[in-house]
Structures are given as C-alpha cells and as structure tokens.
C-alpha cells in the first residue's frame, strides 16, 4: 500500500511538471507568433503614410499638422514604440499652414523631403522641398531648397513624388490646370527635373478625373464640400519586377468620402514618359473600400520592400466609418499589407485586409 501511494505521488508530480512544461511551451509559441505577426492599423491615428528603406531602417512619416515628423524603425509594424523626431517646422508665412503629405527620398547621397503647404488659404497650395546631407535623416539639419515652381502660372499643386531612372529624375504631382472658379479638378502631372528642387521640362498632364469612380464627392448621407471637387491625387511610382514597366498609382474621388480609391497608369520603361500617349489608364479602381468589413476611403498608397528584399508591402490609409461626421476629427489610420506579382512581374493588389486580422510581418523583420 505504501509503495502504491509513493507511485501515485510520483505520477502526480510528473504530470504536474509535464503540464507546466506544456504551458511554458504554449506561452513561448504565443510570444513567437506575436513577434512574427501584426494587425492593422499600424498606428492609432494618421493619414498619408509614407516610408523608405535604407541601410537596415525604415524612415516613416505622415501628416502631423504644420510640421514634419520622422520615425525610425527596423520594423514598420512597431511604429508605436519607434523613436521619432520633428525635423522641420516652416518659418515662412507662405508655407506655414496646411502642410500635407510629406515624403522622404534618398537621392544622390542626400535626403530630400517633399511636401506642400500654403499661407492659410488652401487655394494657394504650392510644392516645397528640404535637404539633409547627413547619413541618418534624424541627425544633422534639414535646410529649405525653396518652392518648386511647376509652371509659369504657379498653379496649385500637392502630393509631389519623385523617381530616378538612370540619370533622369522625374516628379509627379497633383495640380490644377488653371485657377479654380466654381469647380475644382485635380489632375496628375509629370515633369523631368534638373535637380531635386528644380523642374526642367514643361509639366505634362497624364490623367484627369473623367471616369465615374474618379468623380465622387458627395457622401452617402448627403454631406459634401462647398463646391464640386473632382480628384486625381497622391501619385506613386512603382517599377514592375522585371523593370520593363513603370506604374503610377494614384488616388481618386474625395478623400472625405468612402469612395476614395486607387487607380493606375502604366507605361513601358523605355517609352517617352513625358508623352501622354505612352501611358494607359486602368478602367476601374485597383484598390477600393470594403463596406462589408467596415473599411472605407482607401488611398494614398506607398510601396516599400521587406527588410530582406524578397517581398513588397503597400502602405495606405483607411477609415472604419464611411465618412467623418461634423465635429469629429479625422479617423483615418495607416495600414499595410503585402502585394503580389503576376507571372509577368506586374503588381497584383489584394482587397484591403480586415482590421485586426492576423498578418505576417515582412520577411527578414528582426
């Protein structure tokens, strides 16, 4: 009887130890899973997300009011804990208000941040750029390279972005054909640059909001802007995998509506990019709202590589409600998801992933 009791006690001890080990293993597996996955949104607030990858770090920025803030991180899904720094506060009246959509680019060994701002009147929006020669853009000092004149009439302009192809530097942006009177129409333009702060060629119109899905400006509840606004904005360059095609993704319709969506322009890489005939335009949006899962106003895309360079991710912003009611601050949040490539090396963009769905972090994330 005594031996049986001892055996039972030993069995109980072993069972307890085994259970404890299983619990520890399960907890360890949960920690590993959490380290390898993320959920959207990647920040609790923010719009017009932008990031670039350089020497093992992502440098991220978004609209932050009347200044420019940079985040630095090895993991874009951990922006909430990433160090950040205000790197620019405009001092001149003409660029001290409504600072929108900053983008940071590395060009010929220097950092450039492009943005748009005005003097307090949004009709006076113009493009600006600042420069930093430090290896790390959170160090050193950004200096103004001034306003970028887009045409002889200095038309309204927003959302500048650039790409260097060989020895040629190009800028795309959203602008007006002429000063707004009753109806505002934003178009996508492209030009060749003499240097990162000077446009060399005439501006060339590539796209204007002509299709029905590009011309939505009234919300489902009937709320709307004070006048009609048709939108093509937020252009972003992306090369195909084989680098034989170049794409410009752009956002269309009013960002204040749930209908804000992403279209695409495509050209052969060896074509004349300043010839509108070189570009073809998608007949339908390539990325749009998913009302059935409460994702609206999808746009302002940006593309970044995974840390090991084997994957491409898309940053964008979206709302979880159709539109912000009067008196409610902007509810857009930054999100990201992986894109795919077809057999010809052209980008394939899946519908927006559900909020809080478990997604795998970019390959090579430490």
Q: Is-contact 319 258, C-beta < 8 A?
A: yes
Contact indicator for 69, 77 with CB cutoff of 8 Å: no
Handedness of CA 214, 219, 222, 228 (dihedral sign): negative
CB 47, CB 306: distance < 8 Å: no
Highest mean pLDDT among 8-17, 220-229, 321-330: 220-229
Condensed to tens digits (0 to 9), the pLDDT of residues 305-338 reads: 999 999 999 999 999 999 998 878 899 999 999 9
pLDDT given for residue 327 in this prediction: 79
Residues in a beta bridge with 60: 51, 71
Residue 163, phi then psi, degrees to nearest 5: -150, 140
Alpha-carbon gap, residue 161 to 157, rounded angstroms: 12
Q: In this predicted model, what pLDDT tens digit does every residue of 86-122 receive, in sequence order?
A: 999 999 999 999 999 999 999 999 999 999 999 999 9
- Give the dihedral sign, CA 275/277/283/287: negative
Using alpha carbons only, what angle is made at residue 307 by residues 305 and 311, rounded to the nearest 5 degrees? 45
Spatial separation of the C-alpha atoms in residues 298 and 240, rounded to whole Å:
22
Instruction: Identify the band that residue 23 occupies on the pLDDT scale cut at 50, 70 and 90.
Output: low
Q: Which CATH architecture has domain 39-360?
A: 5 Propeller (2.115)
Mean pLDDT of 331-354: 97
Average pLDDT over residues 136-148: 98
Angstrom distance (rounded) from CA 179 to CA 165: 32
Q: Write out pLDDT tens, residues 196-216.
A: 999 999 999 999 999 999 999
pLDDT band at 29 (very low <50, low <70, confident <90, very high): very low
Backbone phi, then psi, for 153, in 5-degree steps? -95, 0
> Is residue 347 predicted with pLDDT exceeding 60?
yes
Question: Once rounded to an integer, what is the mean pLDDT over residues 43-59?
Answer: 97
- The domain spans of the chain are 39-360
151-205 pLDDT per residue, tens? 999 999 999 999 999 999 999 999 999 988 789 999 999 999 999 999 999 999 9
Cα dihedral 58, 62, 68, 69 sign? negative
Please tell me the predicted confidence (pLDDT) of residue 18.
56
């Amino acid at each position: 009887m005594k031996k049986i009791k001892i055996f039972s006690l030993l069995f109980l001890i072993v069972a307890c130890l085994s259970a404890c080990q299983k619990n520890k293993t399960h907890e360890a597996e949960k920690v590993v899973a959490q380290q390898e996955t993320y959920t959207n949104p990647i920040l609790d607030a923010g719009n017009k997300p932008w990031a670039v990858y350089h020497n093992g770090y992502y440098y991220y920025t978004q609209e932050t009011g009347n200044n420019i803030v940079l985040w630095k991180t090895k993991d874009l899904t951990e922006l909430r804990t990433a160090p950040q720094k205000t790197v620019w506060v405009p001092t001149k009246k003409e660029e001290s208000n409504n600072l929108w959509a900053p983008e940071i680019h590395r060009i010929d060994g220097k950092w450039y941040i492009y943005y748009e701002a005005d003097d307090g009147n949004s009709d006076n929006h113009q493009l600006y750029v600042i420069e930093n020669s430090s290896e790390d853009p959170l160090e050193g000092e950004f200096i103004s390279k001034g306003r970028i004149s887009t045409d002889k009439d200095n038309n309204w302009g927003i959302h500048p972005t650039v790409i260097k192809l060989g020895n040629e530097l190009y800028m795309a942006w959203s602008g007006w054909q002429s000063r707004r009177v009753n109806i505002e129409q934003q178009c996508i333009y492209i030009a060749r640059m003499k240097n990162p702060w000077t446009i060399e060629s005439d501006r060339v119109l590539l796209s204007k909001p002509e299709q029905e899905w590009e011309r939505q400006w009234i919300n489902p509840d009937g709320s709307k802007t004070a006048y009609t606004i048709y939108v093509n904005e937020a252009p972003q360059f992306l090369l195909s995998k084989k680098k034989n095609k170049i794409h410009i993704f752009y956002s269309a319709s009013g960002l204040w509506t749930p209908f804000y969506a992403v279209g695409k322009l495509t050209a052969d890489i060896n074509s004349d990019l300043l010839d509108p005939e070189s570009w073809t335009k998608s007949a339908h949006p390539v990325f749009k709202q998913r009302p059935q899962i409460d994702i609206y106003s999808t746009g302002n895309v940006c593309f970044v590589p995974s840390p090991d360079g084997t994957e491409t991710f898309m940053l964008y912003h979206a709302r979880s409600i159709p539109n912000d009611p009067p008196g409610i601050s902007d509810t857009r949040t930054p999100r990201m998801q992986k894109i795919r490539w077809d057999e010809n090396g052209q980008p394939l963009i899946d519908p927006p992933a559900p909020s809080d769905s478990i997604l795998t972090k970019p390959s090579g994330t430490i």
